[in-house]
Amino acid sequence: MMYFKKNICFVWQDLQLNKTSIKMVIGVVALLMILGTVPGSENTLVRWHSVKDFILLYRYEFFHFPAFLCLLGSTFKTNSWIILRRYTNRAQIGTHKVFMVIFCALFFSFIVFMLGVLCTAFVKYIVYPNMKNYHAIFLYVPTSSQPSSFVYFVCMNFLITTILGIIFVIINDIFAHRFLSVVILTTFVILDRFTTSIIPYLFYMSETISPIYTIMILSVIVIILGSIVHFSSTYKNYYTQDDLL
């Protein structure tokens, strides 16, 4: 327990060191989501009825995931000597990376959903409080959705983001090039949308088919990938690098 508590403190310290970059990424995401509620914007031409619908309008593959990679990349700039003074072995450095991904995924998911709630509430109660039916100009009227469906969507977003974040760490460990890792993983996620459609299936279909098993399977994948990073870090030479990640 003390080890995990110490690791969380170290992750928090790294986030504090890079808070300017984090604020920039979150600021851009917030600005673009808020602009989606302005009359005349592209999203006003699309029908949406809930926070979930509003968030999904900003395609995960083209908007949320690249923004998350920018957030994650900005936190992975801690000097190697700072990390090496914290831990007694290399495997613990791998655990630090996994904790960083989980914390960033949790923080990013929280920000996205809070912005979604605020934007939809703004439209529903302030911009168009009396709109009961569809209008020829403004086609959206946000309404409440089932709480269980929303909670499941939050879980899916967090788990998928965490899995992809850990895969990003693995790819970065292999190629030792942050930008190349971002390009490879972003391309993979975009191709998935037009080929196997695994991520769209998890967002749109898994809730009605096997929600509990889906959450369990994704949780197991997180544990397996985290273990891979943990053990692979044992064989990595950090002394030859300018920075840790």
pLDDT in tens, 136-184: 445 555 655 566 788 888 899 999 999 999 999 998 888 877 888 888 8
Please check whether residue 191 lies inside any domain of the structure.
yes
Please check whether residue 244 lies inside any domain of the structure.
no
Please check whether residue 193 lies inside any domain of the structure.
yes
pLDDT of residue 16: 74
Tokens of 154: 């939050």
Between 44-53, 58-67, 79-88, 131-140, the lowest mean confidence (pLDDT) is in 131-140
Query: Does pLDDT of 78 surpass 60?
Result: no
Please check whether residue 137 lies inside any domain of the structure.
yes
Question: How far is it, in rounded angstroms, from Cα 41 to Cα 58?
Answer: 13
Distance of CA 245 to the CA centre of its chain: 18
Q: How many folded domains does the chain comprise?
A: 1
CA distances from 128 to 29, 124, 142, 226, 236 (A): 24, 6, 10, 46, 57
Tell me which residue has tokens 């939809």.
120
Please check whether residue 128 lies inside any domain of the structure.
yes
pLDDT of residue 80: 62
Tell me 237's DSSP state. Answer: -
Distance of CA 50 to the CA centre of its chain: 20
Please check whether residue 26 lies inside any domain of the structure.
yes
* Mean pLDDT value of segment 201-220: 88
* Mean pLDDT value of segment 20-27: 86
pTM over 0.85: no
Please check whether residue 73 lies inside any domain of the structure.
yes
CA distances from 213 to 153, 154, 198 (A): 14, 16, 15
Confidence of residue 79 (pLDDT cuts 50, 70, 90): low
Please check whether residue 243 lies inside any domain of the structure.
no
Question: How far is it, in rounded angstroms, from Cα 21 to Cα 25?
Answer: 6
Question: How far is it, in rounded angstroms, from Cα 14 to Cα 83?
Answer: 10
* Mean pLDDT value of segment 56-77: 85
Query: Does pLDDT of 127 surpass 80?
Result: no
pLDDT of residue 159: 94
pLDDT of residue 162: 95
C-beta of residue 68 within 8 angstroms of C-beta of residue 104: yes
Range of the domain at 132: 2-238
